[in-house]
A and B are shown apart, each in its own frame.
Chain A
Amino acid sequence: MKNFESRVDELRKKFEGALAGVNDDRALEDLRNEFLSRKRGHLTLFFDDLKALTPEERPVAGKLVNELKIQVQEALTTRQGKLATRVVTPDKADLTLPGEKLPWGAPHPLMLFQEEIENIFLAMGFSIAEGPEIETDYYNFEALNFPPHHPARDSWDTLYLGDDLLLRTHTSPMQIRVMEKFKPPIRIIIPGKVYRREAIDPTHLPMFCQVEGLLVDEGVTLAHLKGTLEHFLKTLLGDKIEIRFRPSFFPFTEPSAEVDISCILCRGKDPACPICGGTGWKELLGAGMVDPQVLKNVNIDPERYSGWAFGLGIERTAMFRYQIADMRIFYENDLRFTRQFSLK
């Protein structure tokens, strides 16, 4: 028993000595483990030793060990408090040390850009609809007023999966799917991947992202299309850009328009301009009034309803906005490239 008491004293001294030398969190934690670890702490082992004592001795010895344990715990807690105070004391810590690094993941720039586009239309009460990438000839072409075997199809060079099955060449088939299911007024935008049989080069990819817009209601006019797209493009690309509508041809719109925006790089002054080639304009999207045949194909009366639609390539728009020369970079997924855009 005497022996036991002296061992307790010894341990107390050992603890006090060690505590005096502690000056950081890690040392304090080590000390805590050394004495209180539930597996092999000095005090834990002491409790085990109690079993060797006589029943009379046990309560006294137990009390001694318990007192030491409480003393150790309190001393550790007090010390921890002091250490904590020490770290925030300006004169003792170098506050210029960098703060902890918080990891963050970043969205892909194409998705960020897509969301930016979506948000502009969501604010105008549009819904988002996504559709299948594997499509039938009917939805991708026929319902959109491409007659079978018409050369118009050549501009939408297609990857075929079967006689009637293909990878959609544009997001427009979803126009049909939505109009089949919902009655006007319809206001949707359709983002998604589309596919073309194109060799990879800096401005062409066999897969790219598009956003389609569709509005069908009573009394919708070409003037509305112009107004909406102007609002959209200025919100997306800045008030300073100019927008030009010029006649074009798409089988599923009539009248059709191509929409150009003024070159923000050279303003039409540099014949070698990588964006506009000196013309001062960059072709950005295709649009038009929904062809009456398309409305008929989905049982919407073109005498009562009219609508407009547009389609825009996300990569091309992002390239214009950030002056990115090579489209392929979006699909290299170099994190040094992609992560930058979450900072914007």
Chain B
Amino acid sequence: MKISLNWLKEYLDGDISVQTAVEALERIGLMVEGREEKDGDIVLEVETYSNRPDTLGHLGMARELAVALGLRLKERNWPLSELAVRTADLADVQILDADLCPRYCGVVVKGIKVGPSPAWLQKRIESMGLNPINNVVDVSNYVLFSTSHPIHAFDLDKIAGARVIIRRAKKGERLLCLDGTDLSLAPDMLVIADEVKPIALAGVIGGQASAVTEETKDIFIESAYFNPVSVRLTRKAAGLQTDASYRFERGADISFPPQAALMAASLLTPFGGRSSREPADVFPLPPKKKEIILRHRRITELLGVQVDETFVQKTLTDLELGVEQQQPGVWRVKAPSWRVDLDREADLIEEVARFYGYEKVPSVVPSLQVVDPIPDKSREKLDRVRPLLFHYGFNEVINFSFSDADRERLLATGFEAIQIRNPISAKASLLRTNILGGLLETAAWNKNRGLDAIQIFETGNVYFRDERGCRERLTLGLLSTGMREEPHWRQKSREADFFHLKGVCEALLQQLRYEPFSFEKAEHPCFEPGSGLAMAYKEEKIGYLGLVVGRIREVFDLKQPVCAAEIDLELLFGKQPKPFTYEAVAKYPAIVRDVSLLVPRDVSYQDICKAIEKLPLPILEESRLIDLYSGESVPKDKISLSFRFVYRHLQRTLLAEEVDRAEQQVLVQLKRAFGAQLREGGKIDNRTGKN
């Protein structure tokens, strides 16, 4: 809101400097965001709040300053050039929809000579950043920016039948607005109509047909109170926002219409305007005066400081509230009609605090008793996941949750994307159904800036619509591409390949005790055919990983292989992990045996593991694949797998024969199940190195 210092002085008794005004306003929460000098005036840009429509005019700001600075408000008189005929006899005002228009007041001003405004008025209008138009329009604006109450002037001769009817629009009615908009009116819009047609959109904008022109002689000044919600819905539907609608939708002062109308009439007397002191005032729905009980004790309880009772009473009285002491420390308070924000005790306490000064409220660190923490399992688990991923060398990224149709089509996750009804742009019109899209974008960004080693992850929601409605699921996305480390004299740089990322997934599930987990081959639209795996915990699918398919990489201009994975953390965190139990450290030595087996190529490693696990061999502590070989010395349809078996008995030292027997069982089992053969020379007892 623009506030002119000279204009304020029309209301404030006493001279105040700009510095004084700014400091006082800011102290009570009215922040000055800009100031400019204009023709010997200073215009402040003051931030206002949506619950304080009264501050959208100089009178309201003057009231605030008067209380803050202990100044008096000037009484202003609005003399008229009296007209003997009452307005009601010149125009017939009728409210048909009182719910949307609880009060409508009109004043007819006769005999005006429309023309340019005098210099003082033009200056005022210009200080608000507007161009002066003519005396009638400028007076309307002057009243609005003075009092915050919007008024509107019609050419009386253009109101058919001199009838002013406030009613809902009829289907099919149109209005050509002052700004040139040809508006198709909807039945829930409130209009001002004459005998024949709508002549204004109530509280929003006037119509061209009834506008004041150079030829206008007699005008009808409208000063009303319109239902705030109705004005808001109407101006939204019409796509219009005016100084008037801005104020009406925040709530005008319902007591003020006659004063605003007479003020305008008075300001028009220098131009020949004559009017009756008695407006046509239709007021079918007067509001009930609400009484608020204010307890001094509550002020102290809420603010944490003892505010003097006389200060409370004086502040509220200065703010023109009706204050009556009911008993010591208890007041009955009535807020003036312009303070639409004051409804409850807490609102009054804020007023007291504002003028008392927030800076005088002490800073007290509360003494906090012990309370039970509110558990957040998902968050606790996430707090374990992230450090593990940092440890594996992965960098955290955060991408926007938005997506678009192209991307969703490209990544084809099979989820129905949620549409944003009022997106800021087509590029952000959907919510993402996957983390991968953002990760690919991030990879491309970094790749284009010369980074070669890109290991990134994001934890965040994906969103989709299903039969239960709009859903969001916490998801982990992982992406790895390029080298795992920069070249270095001690280490060969390793490429980030599929098994690197698989290792990350395995380590993560293992460290979170989501065991047993398993992987199954599964095709996925994002992955190269034959490169995808589905991850499962206790047989339930929790995610997938694979090599991103070329056509997707191309879109992001990523030429080298890209491995990616997604894990549904919401699903996973909802599952019970393997309980943690402490196991005593083994006291007796293990016997380690390495065995190389020739296995048919179509047998999967996972099946071999399952077969070994099925054996009732409590002494087999661990079996690990330590080498894989296929080449000249291995038949084409076979592959050589070298396992390291670790045998241990928890209560005693194992005998070699026991291990031999166990090993034999393993070999027999694998031979029976898969036709696995021991390679020649393929057994080594690592303890002695003897064949």
Query: Which residues of A are in contact with B by a Cβ distance under 8 Å?
Result: 38-40, 44, 47-48, 73, 97-101, 103-108, 110-111, 124-125, 127-130, 132-134, 148-152, 154-155, 159-162, 165, 167, 178, 182, 185-188, 193, 195, 197-200, 205-207, 215, 217, 219-224, 226-228, 230-231, 244-249, 251, 254-258, 289, 291-293, 306, 330-336, 338-339, 342
Q: Which residue, A47, A104, A165, A223, has most C-beta atoms of chain B within 10 A? A: A223
Q: Using A133-B401, A206-B428, A339-B395 as known contacts, say yes or no to A105 and B455 having CB atoms under 8 A apart.
A: yes
The CA-CA distance from A198 to B424 in the complex, in Å, is: 7
The CA-CA distance from A77 to B665 in the complex, in Å, is: 34
In the complex, are the beta carbons of B392 and A291 less than 8 A apart?
no
In the complex, are the beta carbons of B445 and A334 less than 8 A apart?
yes
Query: Is B605 engaged at the interface, CB distance under 8 Å to the other chain?
Result: no
In the complex, are the beta carbons of B472 and A38 less than 8 A apart?
no
Q: Which residues of B contact A207 (CB under 8 A)?
A: 400-402
Q: Using A106-B395, A335-B395, A335-B451 as known contacts, say yes or no to A38 and B378 having CB atoms under 8 A apart.
A: no
For A246, give its contact among B26, B378, B451, B457 (CB under 8 Å). B26
The CA-CA distance from A336 to B448 in the complex, in Å, is: 12
Interface 0/1 of B338-364, CB less than 8 Å to A: 000000111101100110001101111
In the complex, are the beta carbons of B420 and A105 less than 8 A apart?
no
In the complex, are the beta carbons of B349 and A255 less than 8 A apart?
yes
The CA-CA distance from A274 to B362 in the complex, in Å, is: 31
Q: Which residues of A contact B628 (CB under 8 A)?
A: none
Q: Using A105-B391, A178-B374, A338-B395 as known contacts, say yes or no to A73 and B51 having CB atoms under 8 A apart.
A: no
24 A-B Cβ contacts within 8 A?
Answer: A38-B596, A40-B633, A101-B490, A103-B485, A105-B396, A105-B455, A107-B390, A125-B370, A127-B373, A130-B376, A130-B379, A148-B229, A150-B50, A161-B419, A162-B470, A187-B371, A207-B401, A221-B301, A223-B361, A226-B358, A227-B362, A246-B358, A251-B51, A335-B451
In the complex, are the beta carbons of A165 and B346 less than 8 A apart?
no
In the complex, are the beta carbons of A338 and B396 less than 8 A apart?
yes
In the complex, are the beta carbons of B28 and A206 less than 8 A apart?
no
Query: Is B446 engaged at the interface, CB distance under 8 Å to the other chain?
Result: yes
Q: Using A151-B232, A161-B420, A336-B449 as known contacts, say yes or no to A247 and B401 having CB atoms under 8 A apart.
A: no
Query: Which residues of B are in contact with A by a Cβ distance under 8 Å?
Result: 26-29, 31, 49-52, 228-229, 232-233, 249-250, 301-305, 344-347, 349-350, 353-354, 358-359, 361-366, 368-371, 373-376, 378-379, 386, 389-402, 418-424, 428, 431, 442, 445-446, 449, 451, 453-457, 460-461, 463, 469-472, 484-486, 488-491, 596, 629, 633, 680-682, 684, 689, 691
Q: Which residues of B contact A104 (CB under 8 A)?
A: 390-391, 393
In the complex, are the beta carbons of A39 and B390 less than 8 A apart?
no
Q: Which residues of B contact A222 (CB under 8 A)?
A: 302-305, 353, 358, 361
The CA-CA distance from A200 to B442 in the complex, in Å, is: 18
In the complex, are the beta carbons of B379 and A151 less than 8 A apart?
no
In the complex, are the beta carbons of B229 and A330 less than 8 A apart?
no
The CA-CA distance from A101 to B490 in the complex, in Å, is: 8
Q: Which residues of B contact A220 (CB under 8 A)?
A: 366
Q: Using A111-B396, A224-B364, A331-B398 as known contacts, say yes or no to A39 and B633 having CB atoms under 8 A apart.
A: yes
In the complex, are the beta carbons of A226 and B376 less than 8 A apart?
no
In the complex, are the beta carbons of B374 and A182 less than 8 A apart?
yes
Of all chain A residues, which has the CB nearest B246?
A: A151
In the complex, are the beta carbons of B689 and A73 less than 8 A apart?
yes
In the complex, are the beta carbons of A103 and B393 less than 8 A apart?
yes
In the complex, are the beta carbons of B418 and A255 less than 8 A apart?
no
The CA-CA distance from A188 to B376 in the complex, in Å, is: 11
Of all chain A residues, which has the CB nearest B305?
A: A223
Q: Which residue, B28, B302, B375, B469, has most C-beta atoms of chain A within 10 A? A: B302
Q: Which residues of A contact B489 (CB under 8 A)?
A: 97-98
Q: Which residues of B contact A186 (CB under 8 A)?
A: 371, 374
Q: Which residues of A contact B52 (CB under 8 A)?
A: 249
The CA-CA distance from A167 to B393 in the complex, in Å, is: 33
In the complex, are the beta carbons of B461 and A231 less than 8 A apart?
no
Q: Using A106-B390, A132-B472 as known contacts, say yes or no to A247 and B353 having CB atoms under 8 A apart.
A: yes
The CA-CA distance from A221 to B307 in the complex, in Å, is: 13
Q: Which residues of B contact A110 (CB under 8 A)?
A: 398
In the complex, are the beta carbons of B393 and A289 less than 8 A apart?
no
The CA-CA distance from A200 to B461 in the complex, in Å, is: 21
For B393, give its contact among A105, A200, A333 (CB under 8 Å). A105
In the complex, are the beta carbons of B368 and A125 less than 8 A apart?
yes
In the complex, are the beta carbons of B51 and A152 less than 8 A apart?
yes
Q: Which residues of B contact A293 (CB under 8 A)?
A: 344
| 20 new A-B contacts at CB < 8 Å, known A245-B361, A246-B26 | A105-B389, A106-B390, A108-B398, A125-B370, A127-B374, A133-B472, A134-B418, A151-B249, A159-B422, A161-B418, A195-B401, A206-B428, A217-B366, A223-B362, A226-B364, A246-B358, A247-B358, A289-B346, A292-B345, A333-B398
In the complex, are the beta carbons of A254 and B396 less than 8 A apart?
no
